[in-house]
Amino acid sequence: MCIVRCRVPCHEGEHSLPGDRQSMDVIIVVHTEFGFVHAKEVIPDKKATEGVSKGVPNLIKIADKHGARVTFAVMPEVVDAFPKDISHEIGLHIHAGWKESQRSGFTYHVGDKYLWEHCHQSSTSTVLRGYPYEEQLDMIQTGADCISDSLGVRPTTFVAGRWSIDNNTVKALIQAGMTRDCSAPAHSKPCHHDWSKLPRICMPYHPGGHDYQEKGDLPLLIVPISQMLHAGNVNPELIPIYGLSWLKACFTEYYNQGMPLFHICLHSPCMTDPCILSAMDEFLGFMARHRNINFRFAAEVREYAPVRPFTQVMPYLRGINRNIVKLGYAWLMKYINLGRH
């Protein structure tokens, strides 16, 4: 068991950061897209403009309430629905290609209509990874120009659709003037992206020229998303699945070790759902009550001094809830049934 010593007295309802670390930065990065919530799941339907026109103001309201800062990574196709003159960071979010897809009985298109109409794309693939360097650079520069012309801000923070990049993406981002990439769900490798070389708890780093997952000295800072134990990204959209206590457990795991950064990601349409919005409000309040927490924009994140994180199980044991018990039972029965065949 880890013994934690408070360096300063705690006020009632507050917590102190352990160890020698003076503070923890917290960033909230939003994939700003059209869509709506159905049965607690985001459906990225391009007809649902309220995913931006309502989702963004809803989040800004609760962020301002807790003194939080938000980075909105904006898709070029949504700029007309995006609120003007906000006091939060505006970045760039790109879904390449154009494909019809389905989810929960709904049919919609994945991709960015503006980029599809204004850029040459040799594929319909909806992830940047695999596109030639010249085409990736064209999409990134065209998207940044659209954001700049429409919203009056030149973005320097980037998020790739489906978190999928490759070495050509890094090269193109640097050429286009991007300084931060927030596309890394550390320690994961589904079919559409590969971040498997990164540890689950991973702090920002500069990539190398030969492998974006290896540390190097390129002038781009990769800012990995914080990862829950066996549950993926710290994302309020997962609260209906894992419960808010599981996200709080992950924050506590990072906080107890003096990790310098905690990175939350989400899609703007989820902020139109009253239950998820309320849970996010509670989550922000929970973090804000801790000592030495600094809400930052992604563009303010830096490379920190080296840390040696390890998995802390105790916060998750304390965070076990009805949702986790149900999931654990379902996983157990799945393995039992597999063993019978």
Per residue in 8-57, pLDDT (tens digit) is: 233 334 454 554 547 999 999 999 999 999 999 999 999 999 999 999 99
Distance CA 146, CA 200 (A): 35
Sign of CA dihedral 23, 282, 159, 118: negative
Is residue 180 situated within a structural domain? Answer: yes
Is residue 15 situated within a structural domain? Answer: no
We report the CATH number of the domain holding residue 281 as 3.20.20.370
Is residue 298 situated within a structural domain? Answer: yes
The share of the chain scoring above pLDDT 90, in percent, equals 86
pLDDT tens-digit map of 150-196: 999 999 999 999 999 999 999 999 999 999 999 999 999 998 999 99
Residues spanned by the domain of 55: 24-339
Is residue 179 situated within a structural domain? Answer: yes
Is residue 37 situated within a structural domain? Answer: yes
Is residue 9 situated within a structural domain? Answer: no
pLDDT at 9: 33
Distance CA 201, CA 228 (A): 9
pLDDT at 3: 29
Is residue 223 situated within a structural domain? Answer: yes
Q: Is 253 exposed, middle or buried (0-12, 13-18, 19+ CB in 10 A)?
A: buried
Q: What is the mean pLDDT of residues 210-223?
A: 98
pLDDT at 2: 34
Question: Rounded to the nearest 5 degrees, what angle is found at the Cα of 323, between the Cα atoms of 321 and 327?
Answer: 120
> What are the start-end ranges of the H helices in 13-166?
50-53, 55-66, 113-118, 133-151
The per-residue pLDDT of the chain, averaged, comes to 92
Question: Rounded to the nearest 5 degrees, what angle is found at the Cα of 284, between the Cα atoms of 226 and 275?
Answer: 100
Report residue 332's pLDDT band, with 50, 70 and 90 as the boundaries.
confident
Report residue 339's pLDDT band, with 50, 70 and 90 as the boundaries.
low
Q: In angstroms, what CA-CA distances link 151 with 70, 84, 146, 248?
A: 16, 7, 8, 34
Give the three-state DSSP class for 100. strand
pLDDT at residue 327 tops 90: no
Domains contained in the chain, number: 1
pLDDT tens-digit map of 309-322: 999 999 999 999 98
Is residue 12 situated within a structural domain? Answer: no
> What are the structure tokens assigned to 162, written together?
């489906």
Distance CA 127, CA 174 (A): 18
